[in-house]
Amino acid sequence: MAKKKEKVVDSGLDTIKSMVHQHSEFFDTLVELIPARFYLPDETERKWFPGLSKAQKARAKRKTTENLKKARRDRLDPEKSALTTLDLLKQKIEKEKKKLSNVVAEDDDESEEEADHKKAKSDSVTYEELRQRLHRKIDELKGGRGGSERPRSHEKRKKIVPNKRKREKTVEEEEDKAKLDVEEAAKDLTYGYVKIDDDEEHGKGSKKRRLSKSRELERALKLEAAKKDPEKGEVIAKKHSWQAATSRAAGIKVHDDPKLLKQSIHKEKKRQEKNAEKWKERVEGQQKVRVEKQQKRSGNIAERIEQNKQRKIAKREKKLMRPGFEGRKEGVINDGK
């Protein structure tokens, strides 16, 4: 029984091995079909062609063409060994194994990472260095024009994401600070004006107490005299100027300049005089017109009376102006004794 079992087990193992072998062969044929260029990652250093000068570019171009030619010749050369994808893959795996063993032997993981880092850095130094140089030049050119602090377009693209640990700490600190600031600020806030019905804004509702201009002039002169006063003049002057500025800023008109007041009084007087003159002229004109009209009217009436009379006479005359008749009856011949 054991033998049978062993046989079965052995044959089982054998079948598994053969199956694995078959599968592996299948995959190997597949891999060989793919050219190595596409299957294996390219580990060569890439030169950053746009950053090189003309001469360097020409040199690099020549090198690449030479490399291409050499590779083509090697590929078609029957004597040289043709490395298939599979062989290259095997080489790669061996290399990695060696590296791992080295690493384990030295017991130093970081050296490899550093090595990789340095490699990456040396790759990107060309990029970074050139880019920084460009930005420095741009900033120099733009440095002369001051003022705006706008985020420059190239600076915008550099979104340096800080380490997560650092970010969390700073965010917490900022939050605490912000809370304190908010509390402080909330104590001292002033808003724009809000009009409520019952209240009235300072001094604007006092239109009734408007002094006449002459009174205001007196007040202004008094104020000026007070300012010139040697002892308290300074204080009064300062206080008044601040008060005036505050009320002017609030929209209240402050009349404190005697010169301007005099001017406006003068103007008002002139205006009144002019108005009085205009009124007089108007009244005179009206009178004149009235008188004229009256005269014309009486003239017309008189004319009409005259005309009426004449018409009546003419009518009577017409009655007696018969043809063959001499007119009015002059009486009998015998009557006039």
CB 191 to another protein: min, Å: 6
List the one residue from 107, 197, 326, 330 that touches another protein (CB under 8 A). Answer: 197
Query: Per-residue contact track with another protein, 202 to 241, x per CB under 8 A?
Result: --x-------------------x------------xx--x
Query: CA-based Rg of the chain, rounded to a whole angstrom?
Result: 60
**Which residue matches tokens 């009064």?**
236
List the one residue from 150, 158, 208, 319 that touches another protein (CB under 8 A). Answer: 150
CA separation for the pair 314, 331 (Å, rounded): 21
Residue 259 near another protein by CB under 8 A: yes
Residue 15 near another protein by CB under 8 A: no
**Which residue matches tokens 């791992």?**
100
Burial of 239: CB neighbours in 10 Å, binned 0-12, 13-18, 19+: exposed
DSSP 222: H
> Between residues 73 and 232, which has the closer beta carbon with respect to another protein?
232
Tell me the angle at which helices 85-106 and 2-33 cross, rounded to the nearest 10 degrees. Answer: 110
Q: What are phi and psi of 323, to 5 degrees?
A: -65, 140
**Which residue matches tokens 């003022």?**
147
Query: Per-residue contact track with another protein, 298 to 317, x per CB under 8 A?
Result: --------------------
CA separation for the pair 237, 8 (Å, rounded): 120
Residue 55 near another protein by CB under 8 A: no
CB 236 to another protein: min, Å: 13
At 236 the three-state DSSP class reads helix
Residue 196 CA, distance from chain mean position: 34
Stretch that binds another protein, among 50-58, 253-261, 276-284, 328-336 (CB under 8 A): 253-261
> Between residues 3 and 150, which has the closer beta carbon with respect to another protein?
150
List the one residue from 190, 207, 231, 327 that touches another protein (CB under 8 A). Answer: 190
Q: How many residues bind another protein (CB under 8 A)?
A: 37
Residue 145 near another protein by CB under 8 A: yes
CA separation for the pair 140, 152 (Å, rounded): 13
CA separation for the pair 40, 34 (Å, rounded): 10
CB 215 to another protein: min, Å: 19
Interface residues with another protein (CB under 8 A)?
145, 147-151, 156, 175, 182, 185, 188-197, 204, 224, 237-238, 241-242, 244-246, 248-251, 253, 257-259
